[in-house]
Structure 1
Amino acid sequence: MPADSVSRMDSNSSNNEQNLLDNILGTSPGAKSLRERTESESSDKLARFVLPSMDGSPPKILTLNELSTVLKNIQNMELAHEIALNPEFKLEPYEPPEDSLESRIKEIMHKAFWDLLREQLQQDPPCYDHAIQLLTDIKECFPQILSPKNMRALDRIDDVLDADVIRQQAEKGVLDFRSYALFVIDMLSKLCAPARDETVQNLKKIEDVVDTFKGILETMSLMKLDMANYLIDFARNDIMANSVEYEKEKFKEYLQIYKFGFPATENWLKRNRTLDDNNVPCTAEQAINNAYIDLVDWSEENKFPEVLSMDKDRLLKFTNRANRLCACASLIALSSALPIISQRTDNRVALAKQIEVLMQDVITEKDMSEAITNIFEQIKSFINKCLNKENQPNVEEETLNLLKMHIMQIADKNSSVRTLMMKRLKVFFRLGMRSNAGLPAPPPGFEHFKDELEAYTTALKRVIKYNHNVFGDYFLKVLTQERQVTETSTTVENTESNN
């Protein structure tokens, strides 16, 4: 049977989906906490690893099994974390690297399987041993792509693809192999997702019966993937709720072992503990909120908080997205200095859409610098077209040069206009973080980028809320201890001063 055939799609297919969800939710038996080493673990005794300590506490000794458990827990946690935070998370079919040994072996096995099937069917009389096994495998695959609630369809498939009946037909020489292929195709057409309709219909156009069954297996493999992704989508809310608790528990266990602290995380929190007009530090909760706002426009000069490492790439992409949004708002604000834009809503909306398209491939500040000249030319062309429609002369050269000078400054994120837009974006996001009833109205300059602004805010808010649920208690502890140390130090200094 080939590697992607029904019988080898998964040897434990009946339990696949539940096992997948158990692993995702971190409830599988393998998701154990680090345990105390006992003398009964004789198989581990030859392989132990020391996790050193630098704070005077005893070093932690891990066995190979314990290390494997830690790694497995981390993998499960990362998978659950990704599913919870990425609405577009999808499983993808695995294909071995091209020209690899695995790829060549797979190709050889597939060819051998289908060649044998073709050879048996061409015998006189035909031999159906391979064909009967193939139909049995297809029958066993249907429960993997069908909801358990669809018992009528499963019963129908069970009756038609009865191995004993098929074998009797073969022995009597009346087995119509192609009719079974058409039955399977008909069932697939009723059960598949709309996106697979065309693929299933094309199976009917294949004249060669062996090629037909080959296409059936490939289609069923895709449908199995569809079912797995459906299960993930269906369970996403449960995954999020359980993965938060799972990560909190694993983080607590980690803190019991790792005593070195997280300096970048602590610096990030303390850096955002601002002072009021009376030189009094803000509360721990306010400092945490300030730290979250800091993530909107993260500075590369600062070390990224260690505890947010799983979301580092995601959060840095949000920074790039925020900078792109602010650049778009800056460009439309500068262009609105011309009456043909500021006094014509339709023109302003159309230009904003063009700017958004032009900026969609701008990711880094380097991209911004390289693209800004072309963006100015597009804006100039758009403005002159609008003027021509109203039979007005093109923009004067002096005005154009002034506009170009200001637009070219947008390439610098520290320019006055972009700085203003970033402040507005942060205020908007802070308000959005506080609100549970929806987002506020877009700030000035962002009105025509409302969809992207709201999508950005909702997505970033989701990531921050998730991490706050996991690490919020730890953040409060860090800031509370820091304040206690500061107050104690101040008290000692005042006492010494009075003495």
Structure 2
Amino acid sequence: MPNQRDEAADDSPADLPCLEKLDSPTGSPPTASLSSLMELENCVSNLSLAHEIVVNRDFCFKPQSPPTDSLEGRVTEIVHRAFWDCLQEELNSDPPNYDHAVVLLQEVKTMLQSLLLPAHVRLRSQMDEVLDMELIQQEVNHGALDLHRLAGYIINTMASLCAPVRDPEVSALRELKDPVELLREIFRVLGLMKTDMVNFTIQSLRPHLLQQAVQYERAKFQQILDKQPASLDNTMAWLQAAASEEASAVRARSDSSSLDSEGPLSATAVLNRAYMRLLHWDPRDQKYPETALMDRARLDALGQQLQMLVLEASVLLLTNAQCGGAVLSLQGFVGKLRQSVAALLEGSHTREADLKGALLGLGETVLQQVTDALSGQGGAALPRESLDLLRGQISELWRHNNPVRTLIGERVQVFLQAMLQGGPAKRSPEPPAPLGLVSAELAELGTAFGRIVHFNRTVFGPFYAPVLRKLLFPPAEAETGEDSR
């Protein structure tokens, strides 16, 4: 059966997202005791771990080891080599010194016990009998310790407890004869088995966590808020900016339609706009809303995918406009073109200069593919003017205010907002015409985004409600409304 470990703290992934903790202003005296700060950090850690397990279906712990080329990795390697070399010298001495070996056997026993389930009563009793540390110490004192016999029992026990994926590694232990190498490999494989046990436990608990996740995360965040009242400051600023943008958009629609749309803004519309802003968040802006911090890595990744989809759809639209639908209808042309777009634009979203250079190269690639496709079908080559125009239009897509890129971006925004309004259970809306060629990827992105938003709103709705009420119904307006009754 798979095994997982009970002590998961030491194996927590380095990229596990966590809530940022707010520091006191520079120069201000400390206001919290060490115990309360540790309690807050523990609360944040538990909240982040529970959230990651629930929302990330592929979440699992992985054995952590520092990079071999890092300072930590080199120091770790030196220390470990020194330890095992010392053990080798002790076992090779005459008579052998088993002091460190006994300590290692005790640790092996502890690790094996951590893999046992409550039903393993007989195995636990047998383990206490075979790995009786007092008896082992007596054997050491009388020079009668048989390390290979104990190692054989340990390997057999590991074979009965390990997941099938570890069978080859456990079997390989039987081929090792050097006691030091054998102990070292036993520890390595036991570490993997403990990680397997943790991941098996997580998968088993996930259905139960899903049922309790909303209440658990809400309660944990309330504990954080009780200890750090400023933990909603960024969230309030985020919602306030979204409310201002929504009010401007409503006024613009009212002016264009000559209709009077006076009245309070929709809280749902403000929240949806706020979530949409997270897909275009400036990475230099550190004031990320606290309630979305645990999903920031996922939202940033979706934002990058969205930007690439907008650029990809823009290139396809420009190619279709200059070359005609006949070129895009050629078998395999769109797929090959999209592969080129994705490959040349990969990683270019972080810096404007990188994107500009990538689009210049992309323009040349598109022209070459169009020319090859037409010649392969025996069609007439496009005029040089059309090719030059297409190259220039593609290279200009690096500008944020480029009309084609702006058009596609607006259509994408409308599509994603429609998905948010529809909710997770409703059918996705049809993407607008310019996005037809990337509709599958856009729908997949929208579904992933909607899932994050839906869960976030469910958990943090009670925290958003008073903020939105204050923004959409200011006290002055509320008093005016009461006086007029």
Q: TM-score, normalised by structure 2?
A: 0.73
* Corresponding residue for residue 222 of structure 1: 192
Change (3 A) 1:70 1:422: same
Aligned amino acid, residue 16 of structure 1: E
* Corresponding residue for residue 241 of structure 1: 214
CA distance in 2 between partners of 1:320 and 1:20 (Å):
29
CA-to-partner distance for each residue in 1:309-343, whole Å, 9 max, x for gaps?
Answer: 62455534433321111111222222334345322
* Corresponding residue for residue 295 of structure 1: 278
The secondary structure found in structure 2 opposite 1:432 is helix
* Corresponding residue for residue 436 of structure 1: 424
The secondary structure found in structure 1 opposite 2:279 is helix
Q: Which moved more, 1:168-177 or 1:405-414?
A: 168-177
The secondary structure found in structure 1 opposite 2:265 is coil
CA-to-partner distance for each residue in 1:277-329, whole Å, 9 max, x for gaps?
Answer: 32224322232223323333346899855434624555344333211111112
Change (3 A) 1:182 1:373: farther
CA distance in 2 between partners of 1:211 and 1:259 (Å):
54
1:285 and 2:268 aligned: yes
1:250 and 2:223 aligned: yes
Aligned amino acid, residue 376 of structure 2: K
Change (3 A) 1:390 1:181: farther
CA distance in 1 between partners of 2:99 and 2:283 (Å):
65
CA-to-partner distance for each residue in 1:262-290, whole Å, 9 max, x for gaps?
Answer: 44432333432435532224322232223
1:403 and 2:390 aligned: yes
CA-to-partner distance for each residue in 1:104-161, whole Å, 9 max, x for gaps?
Answer: 48844x4454345434543566565654553443232123345555667667766665
* Among 342, 345, 359, the residue aligned to 2:345: 359
* Corresponding residue for residue 322 of structure 1: 306
* Corresponding residue for residue 66 of structure 1: 36
CA distance in 1 between partners of 2:440 and 2:455 (Å):
23
- Superposition deviation, residue 481 in structure 1: 2.7
Aligned amino acid, residue 269 of structure 1: A
The secondary structure found in structure 2 opposite 1:118 is helix
1:332 and 2:316 aligned: yes
1:269 and 2:243 aligned: yes
* Corresponding residue for residue 344 of structure 1: 330
CA distance in 1 between partners of 2:261 and 2:32 (Å):
48
- Superposition deviation, residue 182 in structure 1: 5.0
- Counting only pairs closer than 5 Å after superposition, residues 488-499 of structure 1 correspond to structure 2 as 488=477, 491=480
Change (3 A) 1:388 1:189: farther
CA distance in 2 between partners of 1:429 and 1:125 (Å):
75
CA distance in 1 between partners of 2:25 and 2:373 (Å):
72
Aligned amino acid, residue 317 of structure 2: A
- Superposition deviation, residue 226 in structure 1: 3.1
The secondary structure found in structure 2 opposite 1:142 is helix
Change (3 A) 1:77 1:312: same
Q: Given that residues 120 and 128 in structure 1 are in contact (C-alpha distance below 8 angstroms), is that contact kept between their aligned partners in structure 2? A: yes
Aligned amino acid, residue 73 of structure 1: C
Percent of residue pairs bearing the same amino acid type: 26
- Superposition deviation, residue 372 in structure 1: 0.8
Aligned amino acid, residue 279 of structure 1: S
Q: Which moved more, 1:297-306 or 1:322-331?
A: 297-306
CA distance in 2 between partners of 1:245 and 1:294 (Å):
23
- Superposition deviation, residue 389 in structure 1: 3.2
CA-to-partner distance for each residue in 1:210-258, whole Å, 9 max, x for gaps?
Answer: 2122122122223323333443444445174354223442365258678
Aligned amino acid, residue 294 of structure 1: R
Structure 1: runs of 5+ lacking an equivalent = 1-12, 22-48, 54-58
Change (3 A) 1:134 1:65: closer
CA distance in 2 between partners of 1:263 and 1:225 (Å):
41
* Corresponding residue for residue 16 of structure 1: 7
The secondary structure found in structure 2 opposite 1:418 is helix
- Superposition deviation, residue 371 in structure 1: 0.9
CA-to-partner distance for each residue in 1:422-464, whole Å, 9 max, x for gaps?
Answer: 2222232223222333534444344444554344323322332
Change (3 A) 1:294 1:107: closer
Structure 2: runs of 5+ lacking an equivalent = 13-23
- Superposition deviation, residue 51 in structure 1: 12
- Superposition deviation, residue 167 in structure 1: 7.2
* Corresponding residue for residue 374 of structure 2: 387
* Number of residue-to-residue matches in the alignment: 449
1:373 and 2:398 aligned: no
What's the C-alpha RMSD, in Å, of the aligned pairs?
4.6
CA distance in 2 between partners of 1:70 and 1:171 (Å):
49
Aligned amino acid, residue 406 of structure 2: T
Aligned amino acid, residue 466 of structure 2: K
1:416 and 2:416 aligned: no
CA-to-partner distance for each residue in 1:391-442, whole Å, 9 max, x for gaps?
Answer: 4455442221122122122222322222222222223222322233353444
Q: Given that residues 387 and 394 in structure 1 are in contact (C-alpha distance below 8 angstroms), is that contact kept between their aligned partners in structure 2? A: yes
CA-to-partner distance for each residue in 1:157-178, whole Å, 9 max, x for gaps?
Answer: 6666565786788799886544
Structure with higher RCO (Cα < 8 A, 6+ apart): 2
Q: Given that residues 432 and 457 in structure 1 are in contact (C-alpha distance below 8 angstroms), is that contact kept between their aligned partners in structure 2? A: yes
Aligned amino acid, residue 364 of structure 1: T
The secondary structure found in structure 1 opposite 2:398 is coil
Aligned amino acid, residue 328 of structure 2: S
